[in-house]
Amino acid sequence: MRIATVGDNCMDVYQASGQVYPGGNPVNVAVYLKELGADSAYIGWVGSDTYGDRMIQAIREKGVDTTHLSQKDGTTAVTYVELIGNDRSFGEYDEGVTANFTLTEEELDFIATHQLVHAGIWGHVEGYYSLFKEKGLSTCFDFSDQLDHSLVKTLSPFVDYAFFSYKQDDAYIRQFLKEVNSVGSKIAVATLGENGSLAYDGGQFYQYGVVEADVVDTMGAGDSFISGFIYGRLKGLSINECLKLGTETASKTIRYFGAW
């Protein structure tokens, strides 16, 4: 199983403690997929600073393919994080060199050697999704909590597995997932925090609850859910089994500080 994740990365800086952890949606997904047993590659840019060195080393140590992780002149992206209880609140975000991220023809050819490609809403990768589909790739995209973003309508036709973050199972999110499916996504999924998860495949809804865990830090929970879900799909599991695997994967992530 070969999966490529593409786009943004950042160093998560916990302001109160001064601790710094590598992260970013595509990076996290690549790491979690590797831990599940997939061959994962991360394609992105880091800066020429010490954070960039640290990011490359950390990802490589996890066994993720970093042959197409580039270091550019400038700063690595940084997100400032504050813990409120056990939940994290994102503060200022400096994109650094990732603000100008693009893919080369060689990188596109490399991505095409994989079964599935994943990116997120902050990664500047959306313009390549029609190409990914032309190359025969399965596609996954994390829209985060940006349910009103214009990309939901324009990008979903090229996304097989569309992920969203919401708060509860209600009439609004059910209608929303139906609409995402109707414009092209095969399966639309919403993670609902403490209320579990919900998926729609054009025929029916699927629900799953939560796994009890001692919550230390919720950083990376959504990304690890996505990893479990798409790993399950590529293994041929049912949607219910994928929701279960995503939930179990996320339950491990919230037991420690940082995404991984």
Q: How many CB atoms lie within 10 A of CB 183?
A: 15
Q: What is the pLDDT of residue 109?
A: 97
Picking from 208, 164, 202, 209, the residue whose alpha carbon sits closest to that of residue 185 is: 202
- DSSP label at 128? G
Where are the domains positioned within the chain? Answer: 2-253
Q: What is the pLDDT of residue 257?
A: 54
The domain at 2-253 falls in which architecture? 3-Layer(aba) Sandwich (3.40)
41-72 confidence digits (pLDDT tens) = 999 999 999 999 999 999 999 999 999 999 99
pTM over 0.95: no
Rounded to the nearest 5 degrees, what angle is found at the Cα of 158, between the Cα atoms of 141 and 34? 35
Q: Copy the structure tokens of residue 152.
A: 């939901």
Q: What is the dihedral of CA 235, 240, 242, 246, to 10 degrees?
A: -160
H or E segment to which residue 230 belongs = helix 221-234
pLDDT-above-70 percentage for the chain = 90
